[in-house]
Structure 1
Amino acid sequence: MNESPTILLTGTSEGIGYETARLLAAKQCTVIVHARTREEGEESYQRLLGSGVDARRFQPAVADFTDLRQVIDLAVEVAELFPFLDVLVNNAGTTGTHGRVITKDGHERTFQVNYLAPYLLTRLLEDALSRSEVGRVVNVSSSLHRGGRINWNDINWKRRYNRGAAYAQSKLALTMMTTALSELRPKVREAVSVHPGIIATGMLPCYSYRGRPVVEGAEPVARLADPGAKVLNGGYYDGRLPAKAASAAVDPDSVRKLWTYSERLTLFDKHQA
């Protein structure tokens, strides 16, 4: 394994993503730190440098996940700069909006940001991941995926939009993707999901009024993203410990259905050409 393994970590502007980037850089990893905008990326980059981490450990990257074209551009940029990608951490996410919002790509915003964008990014980086001895994907999920269901007949919530249900659906889909990656995609060597805990970040209103310090949520994510760590392929972790995912997350028929559906929704085959 490379002495300075390369990790793409999405959503590093604040919260768990920011702290995870700091922890991984301290482990001598090269971290591609993704942000939604250049302004957010520059601000978090300067804070990371101010925390005393070596600037050579970071490579900034930008993409707004509400625009799948930017996700494609991000994947192309990363693959060109780092043909061997050791780990991809799909951390970027949103709690969603009180009212239903449709992206320019035609998808409900929460579903696109929390699931379709990470799905497309992962698929486009499969080759780079396959060249690494590690080739791991870490999906930052949520315990709330257990209360979710894939609304097959109305995945964009044209009827009866509910913010909490949309969030739970997106995190269930992300957890299902972990199962798919471990069972259907040999190019990705390992995939895991993790619920970081109830942490005092912008996601807290989805769970509770009180949360643990952000660094406590970053620690299990950083551990699973550490290329030297052994992980349970296809597993779901609650913090540091393996746990049982929702039955829908490991149902073979549902997982395959979502995989095929996601290819269609993201026009994956066209982007691959």
Structure 2
Amino acid sequence: MPENSVVLVTGAAEGLGYHTVRQLAVGSTIVIAHARSGDEAAQTRERLLGSGVDERRLHLAVADFTELRQVADMANAIAAACPRIDVLVNNAGTAGAGGRTVTADGHEQVFQVNYLAPYLLTRLLEDALAASPVSRVVNVSSSLHRGGRINWNDLNFKRRYHRGAAYAQSKLALTMFTTALTERCPKVREAVSVHPGILATGMLAHYSFRGRPVTDGAEVVARLADPGTRVFNGGYYDGRLPAKASSTAVDPDAVERLWRISEKLTFPEKRRARVENELRTGV
């Protein structure tokens, strides 16, 4: 790991994110660990310090991804305190509840937490990423993205909710976001998505009854998050190896369509400003 690299890991309070932070927080690496609340952040800090992480290399960030305002506030606070981010690991996610849940922002919860929130966070940290010679985003996706589809006419599953379909859609969207970053966001130099394996975490119910140790998946993610590791830009990884993403994940028209929708859902004021400018200038 290059000296004084700065890595932000979301969803670091437990499971894959927690163990990824443990593996990254070695040497001179500075890790920003995200948690959902102040209490959760304090508990995470104590656990990490108790496991041997150097407190001088550990910073905390707090936001509940079910509220996009909190995501924006966290991004702004991080950018102000740390103007350079070398690697952003979008790991935070939810398996979803038994029934459909809607956030205060009006979105189906799985779609917001697993996709819209990391989309917004990444976009707001573009300048901090651009300040790094590495500028890498690692999106923790899932092999289940291959069976997913974007429900264009009902992203929030208002008509018929299915927990597995909602989860697969969110991970497909995140994988499409990886493609979009390489094509539409020059401030991000490298972006990859990864299925870390079938692990013994809260996501296990979507895959199987038995999973591998979470530390195995954390090793995979930490390796991709190491600025010293060369990656296939825009690629999808199944474990340590590059693999083929779904056709939708790399379809230019679908990726473009999702980008525009995502911008509209997370930056409504930017959308209004663009429309007003187009009306005023005729462009």
Counterpart position of 1:172? 172
Following superposition, the deviation at residue 219 of structure 1 comes to 0.5
Whole-angstrom distance in 1 between the partners of 2:267 and 2:52: 42
Instruction: State whether residues 85 and 128 of structure 1, in contact with CA within 8 Å, keep that contact through their aligned partners in structure 2.
Output: yes
Distance 1:224 1:50 in 2: 25
How far is 1:43 from its partner?
A: 1.0
Map of 2:19 onto structure 1: 19
Query: 2: CA distance between counterparts of 1:237 and 1:228?
Result: 17
Question: What TM-score does the superposition give when structure 2 sets the normalisation length?
Answer: 0.94
CA contact 1:263–1:269 (8 Å) conserved in 2:
no
1:124-146 Cα shifts (integer Å, max 9, x gaps): 00011011000000000000000
Q: State the shift of 1:267 in Å.
A: 1.9
Instruction: Point out where structure 1 has 5 or more consecutive residues left out of the alignment.
Output: none
Which amino acid letter does the alignment assign opposite residue 251 of structure 1?
A: D
Contact 2:149 2:169 in 1 (8 A): yes
Cross-structure match for 1:132? 132
The amino acid across from 1:150 in the alignment is: I
What is the aligned-residue identity percentage? Answer: 69
The structural deviation recorded for 1:28 is 2.8
- Per-residue Cα deviation, 1:215-268 (whole angstroms, up to 9, x for no partner): 001011000000111000000000100000000000000000000010001126
- The amino acid of 1:163's aligned partner reads R
Query: 1:82-110 deviations in whole A, cap 9, x for unaligned?
Result: 10110100000000111111111010000
TM superposition outliers: structure 1 runs of 4+ over 3 Å: 268-271
Aligned match of 2:216:
216
Q: Determine the structure 1 residue equivalent to 2:258.
A: 258
Length, aligned pairs only: 273
CA distance in 1, matches of 2:4, 2:143: 32
Q: Are the aligned partners of 1:120 and 1:268 in contact in 2 as well (CA < 8 Å)?
A: no
Distance in 1 between residues matched to 2:138 and 2:210, nearest whole Å: 26
Aligned equivalents of 2:38, 2:172: Cα separation in 1:
30
Q: Report 1:221-240 matches (<5 A).
A: 221-240=221-240
How far apart, CA to CA, are the structure 2 residues paired with 1:203 and 1:28?
Answer: 32
Q: CA deviation at 1:55?
A: 0.9
Deviations 1:30-75 (A, max 9, x none): 0100001111111111111111111111101100000000000010
Instruction: Show structure 2 runs of 5+ residues with no match.
Output: 274-283
Q: Which amino acid aligns with 1:11?
A: G
